[in-house]
Amino acid sequence: MLNGFKEFIMKGNVIDLAVAVVIGAAFGAVVSSLVENVLMPLISALVGSPNFDDFAKVTINGNEILFGAFLTAVVNFLLIAAAVYFVIVMPMNKLIHRRDRKLDLEEKVEEVDPQVALLTEIRDSLRQRSF
């Protein structure tokens, strides 16, 4: 039973997933800091408040509905999504595109010249006829 567990843990996929979770958590802290300490102060300089929690409150039967808090959460989400897109996704897509272009160029270099391919077919055909 312990050997099976040890085998499962030592598989590459589990280790890769564990590393991804740790790096993701660390990167989440970096993105959160970017949003809270850089982007939100810039927004507060434009709007006058670092969040919109008190922007819209509605009280119904003694219960407060905090539309402003929801708006703050939406703005935070959009800022985090933009930060992830421009810091990770866009550069990674460019790297993938460059790699694919390089692979395409290598494949074109390795392609056989059509004349050589035709001569090879003729040779193979002549060999089959002679036997």
In order of start, what are the domains of the chain with their CATH numbers?
Answer: 2-130 (1.10.1200.120)
Residue 131 has pLDDT above 70, yes or no: no
pLDDT tens-digit map of 77-94 = 888 888 788 888 899 889
- With a pLDDT cut of 70, the percent of the chain lying above it is 92
Residue 51 has pLDDT above 80, yes or no: no
Which band of pLDDT confidence, cut at 50, 70 and 90, is reported for residue 130? low
pLDDT tens-digit map of 97-116 = 888 888 777 666 667 778 88
Element (H, E) at 91: helix 90-110
Of the candidates 88, 70, 73, 72, which has an alpha carbon nearest to the alpha carbon of residue 28?
A: 88
Residue 34 has pLDDT above 70, yes or no: yes
Find out whether 68 and 55 touch, Cβ atoms under 8 Å. Answer: yes
Predicted confidence at residue 26, as pLDDT, reads: 87
How many angstroms separate the CA atoms of 74 and 52, rounded? 10
